[in-house]
Structure 1
């Protein structure tokens, strides 16, 4: 009777329990969580020293399967605890890596990037434990976990006001909340996964599209500062927004747009640049009474890897070259605080060098700036547990683009980056006037 009651008791406290005819159980804690929460997985009922293989898998919205494999050996009590049990050689990762089954996921098809388009539905993860290592034997136990992008009470509101296109994610409660605009790069369209997770952590966040979405221009040629000004004004007039200032976060091209916004729009009080550039890139931007020129690239310096991937890392013009210095973003005009985050294995462009150049400029003008550089991290620094994407097909270019990154270094960087982003925005945007949304 006591043994039979165990599964229901575990479920009551948020642990997914899986029994099996073999007597082996796989327990996940919790069985439903946000995508950025750590994994807690334990196995009991094994024989002491028994070899097992843990396969983790998910199927994305396009039907692509991402999977990882961890090889383990049970302890003397017949249990595995991923916070203490090391993964052995021969799998997707090694060592004590409790979250390894997540960040080591790889697509079955090369050049596929895990992208979550519909953030209102969770990702379903499947965990399967097999006997032995090579080859894996019979299935011993299995379990599933839901990882969501919208926390309880978070709401999504499509934005189609004036010329502004995007989505607004509102935390539960009355507010006022610190507000953030979220921008992605030259892939275009609307990316919502980071914005929805930020809203789940208490920040009212607008995922802002700026080309190739809805009725926006289908290329970067239509950029104008007034579009981003209109988005800021829309947020500032929202009844749940803390009016003391707006934050903006951008990745890649989105990062230099974020810095540009802060340079010309005084409402911006906090900027996060992820893998960004200190110059306006790829397309000129009409600003207040003048046009900010763009940094270009030298096609002769573009390289291709043996796998045929587009290596753009050395082709960009040098923003410190006097010939291109007019494209430098005048960030010293801004009163905002800046957080710059870069991977040292960025193969898209030299974001760490760009960051150091911007730090020098901002420091010279006594601006509030902090910067961090991550060994082994590539260009696509996403929220924690997104699998590394070293290369993928670029939507705008129509060819495979090299992004860089080493598996473990990139994963650890994403965890630290996510903590620093939240701490930074909390420090510079949250004020005593904000009511708790909890």
Structure 2
């Protein structure tokens, strides 16, 4: 059984995965933002191609040809709404958001290298885990070209499937690997039943912000947590976990959240980005504070974009929920309302306890589509965090012993 598990390559994990949609590195942020708004995915891959038949300026256009060398067309990163939000929170962007959005998406790519890595389908499970443990968020894997993808008409702006060397691509995430290991969890007995505390995988290295602190102080931390696939914990003066500012939740919002991040406290921001749309009183607060700080560029963008989104989403929102949401994207990505997401007061942070078993924490994270779980004591004091990377280290050591 162990030999069978170790024999798997990443191609086995790619079965059923959709072809990777992509944008050129020269695409403007505005065009990329339109793609993200109209996509069910929270992120889009960014590609750089050297060949003449490759990407042009603006939205993604032509793809690589079968005759090009492998190094000519590479996925160099990915971006999400969160990247745009953090970018719009910069001082120069606040002055003129519309002008800032005309910059190429390359300015959004993190300086951290190795977050995206190309691997061949023959790459082994162990090698894939090693790449992830070294920092790779996404493994880009070639898959057979689907003829149907060739027939899709380009929309403007839109992301297009990248065809290179007669192949399309998909990508694998930490979650994909964890799901795969969970399907064979019995092979790792008794490790899955052990507590995360006994396994030593609770990391005390967490990023926190005080509930009453300005949310703007968390912008650099949000960018780091996006790269680390974690979150920013919101705590009170006693270290009690009140909630979180999660890149996952921000990715389900509109880029106008940048105005709220710039003006609200961390506690008010949590209420602002809570699923269902921000309270009207907080929208008024954001508007008033932007005006007080003479951030006229962001004020105009905030009010114009918010009004436009409200008008476009009001009919569907009223029909489905009986109310209007100022953030059109929020209602499409509601978080789970289960017990584990409501254990913390006034929060939707996903939490567990030090004595929770490894398999229970794995299932929690997968069920809520996050890469981490906060660890708290009975009094809700924050102990640390457990991530998919922490879990993968445990399985990697066990797999190596099985080899």
Q: Do the two structures share a fold, i.e. TM-score over 0.5? A: no
* TM-score, scaled relative to structure 2: 0.29
Please identify which structure carries the higher strand content.
1
Please identify which structure carries the higher helix content.
2
Q: State the structure with more CA Rg.
A: 1
Instruction: Using CA pairs under 8 Å that are at least 6 residues apart, name the structure with larger relative contact order, 1 or 2.
Output: 2
